[in-house]
Amino acid sequence: MTEAAELPPAPEQARAIFGDRFADAVRYAELLADAGVRRGLIGPREVPRLWERHLLNCAVLSDVVPGDVSVCDVGSGAGLPGIPLALARPDLRITLLEPLLRRTTFLDEVVRLLGLDNVTVVRGRAEEMIGHLSPVDVVTARAVAPLDRLAGWGLPLLRPHGEMLALKGDTAEDELKAARAALSKLGAVESSVVQAGAGLMDPPSTVVRVLVGESPGGIRAATRRAKARANRQAQGSRRRR
């Protein structure tokens, strides 16, 4: 077993990013480095770079999120990017959507310990939640799936004129180019690669931004397909009993 490394001190820019919630951000980093590693939510080798690669990389997403909106963090995992975003932006109403029980259990504990009144944890897959969750203004995601598949799960959760913000790496431009046809079918009217955290992060975080229109037919079609797929899965489960 690889022994977890020691969590380094918070970098100076963390105070600027988290403001009054800086102490809570430190506590969250400690939870990730301890319980997160023990429960297999974070690899032990990630501990030395928890701040730069994980917390700050996610928190600066706040640069491109509008004010006072609802957010659904798809495939939230250990709470990234949703929890850093909630700490940096208490004006946001954030749902952490995650299918695995061991992860939602951890998320519930973190939300309670940090007193995150603006955060709700929901257990489920995004494609199964279409039509069940209230539509949101913004969908966020990090390291969940290729962009075309992620859009199929995330865009149907949006309100008209909503946007999906996906944290990506160096291949973001190529991934967006390859996914544009699929995005259009799902109702996207605009897509671009933007930077978040310039001046605070070096390099800044890379974000793929996808906007949907007023009445995206692709989203309605995706909703119908998702419901039909969920019904088939439920029927199959009943037959196997």
Tokens (6 digits) for 235: 């029927």
What average pLDDT does the chain have? 91
CB of 166 closer than 8 Å to CB of 58: no
Q: What is the mean pLDDT of residues 58-75?
A: 97
Predicted model pTM: 0.89
Long-range Cβ contacts of 232-236 (<8 Å, 24+ apart): none
Q: What is the pLDDT of residue 112?
A: 98
- The first and second tokens of residue 113, run together, are 């310990």
pLDDT in tens, 125-171: 999 998 899 999 999 999 899 999 999 999 999 999 999 999 999 99
> Taking Cα atoms as reference points, which of 18, 145, 122 lies closest to residue 73?
122
**Overall average pLDDT of the 13-35 stretch:** 98
Q: Domains for the chain: give ranges and CATH numbers.
A: 65-240 (3.40.50.150)
**pLDDT value for 143:** 84
**Is 3's pLDDT higher than 60?**
no
140-154, 175-189, 220-234 — which is least confidently predicted? 220-234
Q: Taking the chain, what is the end-to-end CA distance rounded to the nearest angstrom? A: 39
214: confidence class by pLDDT, cuts 50, 70, 90: confident
Tell me the pLDDT tens digit for each residue of 80-125. Answer: 999 999 999 999 999 999 999 999 999 999 999 999 999 999 999 9
